[in-house]
Amino acid sequence: MSAANIYKIRRPLILLTLAAFASSASFRVCDPMLPVLAHLFGQTSGQVAVVITVFTISYGGMQLIYGPLGERLDRFRVITVATAGCALGSVGAAVAPSLEWLVACRLLTGVAAAGIIPLSMAWIADRVAVNHRQSVLARFFSGQIMGMVFGQVLGGLFVDAGTWRFAFWCLSALYVLIAFALWSDVDSRQPEKKHDDKAPPSVASLYLAAFRLLHARETRGVLFCFLIEAALVFAVLAFMPLYLHEHFGLSLSKASLALVLYGLGGLLFSIFAARMGARLNRFAFPTMAACLVAVANGIIFLSSQAIWVFVAAMISGFGYYMLHNALLFQMTQRVPQARSLALTLSVSIFFVGQSIGVGIAGWLADQGRLPQVFLCAAVIMPVIGWLTGRRVRAF
């Protein structure tokens, strides 16, 4: 699809980006609420943290369901229904009379939100030619990045105002508007083009195909890079505010600004990517991206002032989204006959990597060796960038 033809699908692209924005906001909206929820429901912060955990687990687990669904059904319709499901879950969370009710509604929201971003990327990949796809995906990522920042800010603002439920009401209204707009656009589009006229594959054959992708020559290297990338990046990201708090004496609210700057770095990349276009799909870019993340972690490890950690956070955000963009692009190109399956599998592997990385980083933090997390990321990330670069194909 040429740049001129991309204009024809601009409306659904915008709607999908907004849906991704809301989905990402749901991820982070509960982060600032834990102390308030603990007091309200008479539990510890660790006990109420299940409202975050259940969303994450359901989101990751549901990728195994949405992958086959995306291959058998119209992806745009599945995304529309998923967005409506998020609205329902958010309304339930807003009126939750108990912690159990809130957990159940967060579970529902995670189940629904899991179908938005991966299937949106597959939908985009089916309609945008390779020479424009990476820059279009980067613009789509900007919705996710801003959504994460928005979710944290939204939750924090309403917590400070003593009206935490209004954060869920805002998300509910946003989901309803987006779902309505998506639904009104469903019938105005041409049906999704299939690669052939054969009957849809069976669910069993799709799961077998997913298993084959784990060790297939064209995908196993990319999936491995997804795993290690997620482990390293999120080990650092999860404990960066704690590091600022413990080593530089910053309050946790001020330390959390590092995460905002991280998101801003990713947003800058999305602007950069739109200008670079097809040139992003070259060996040098993922290698350079990983080196940026490595340099940022080296700065954090060596820094003697908090300001340098904030600078490093923005550099790391830019480099991470640059590398992640390259990996996702490769998955859209390597399995064109089953993009939904490939992308949802990538997300599942990504969540496994996050869990491994955060778990190891938490153990190191308990041992008083949190700086070693930044050192490991600084040393290993260039290797991941080099491996990713080797797998980049020139199209």
Residue 189 has pLDDT above 70, yes or no: no
Question: pLDDT confidence of 61, banded at 50, 70, 90?
Answer: confident
Asked if residue 34 has pLDDT above 90, the reply is no
pTM given for the model: 0.75
Residue 325 pLDDT > 50:
yes
Are the C-beta atoms of residues 374 and 297 closer than 8 Å to each other?
Answer: yes
pLDDT at 7: 57
260 with 314: CB under 8 angstroms?
no
- Candidate ranges 62-76, 113-127, 168-182, 343-357; pick with highest mean pLDDT: 168-182
Residue from 317, 305, 290, 306 nearest 379 by CA: 290
Q: Does position 273 have pLDDT exceeding 60, yes or no?
A: yes
pLDDT at 277 over 60: no
pLDDT of residue 96: 92
Asked if 297 and 233 count as a contact pair (C-beta separation under 8 A), the reply is no
Give the tokens for residue 358: 């955060």
Got the DSSP string for 332-364? HHH-GGGHHHHHHHHHHHHHHHHHHHHHHHHHH
CA distance 391 to 292: 19
Whether the pLDDT of residue 333 is over 60: the answer is yes
Confidence grade of residue 394 (pLDDT, cut at 50, 70, 90): very low
67-76, 78-87, 302-311: least confidently modelled range: 67-76
The residue length of the chain stands at: 395
Query: Does residue 395 register a pLDDT over 50?
Result: no
Q: What is the pLDDT of residue 193?
A: 52
**Which has more confidence, 384 or 344?**
384
Q: Smallest Cα–Cα separation from 26: which of 69, 66, 83, 70? A: 83
Residue range 109-113: mean pLDDT, rounded: 93
pLDDT of residue 392: 61
Q: 200 falls in which pLDDT band (50, 70, 90)?
A: low
pLDDT in tens, 212-248: 666 666 677 788 888 898 889 888 887 788 788 888 8
Q: Given this model, what pLDDT does residue 79 score?
A: 93
Question: In a 10 Å sphere around its CB, with 0-12 CB exposed, 13-18 middle and 19+ buried, how is residue 251 labelled?
Answer: exposed
**Whether the predicted pLDDT of 326 surpasses 50:** yes
The 10s digit of each residue's pLDDT in 130-162 is 677 777 877 787 788 788 878 877 887 888 788
Mean per-residue pLDDT of the chain: 81
Residue 175, pLDDT score: 96
Categorize the per-residue pLDDT at 33 as very low, low, confident or very high, splitting at 50, 70 and 90.
Answer: confident
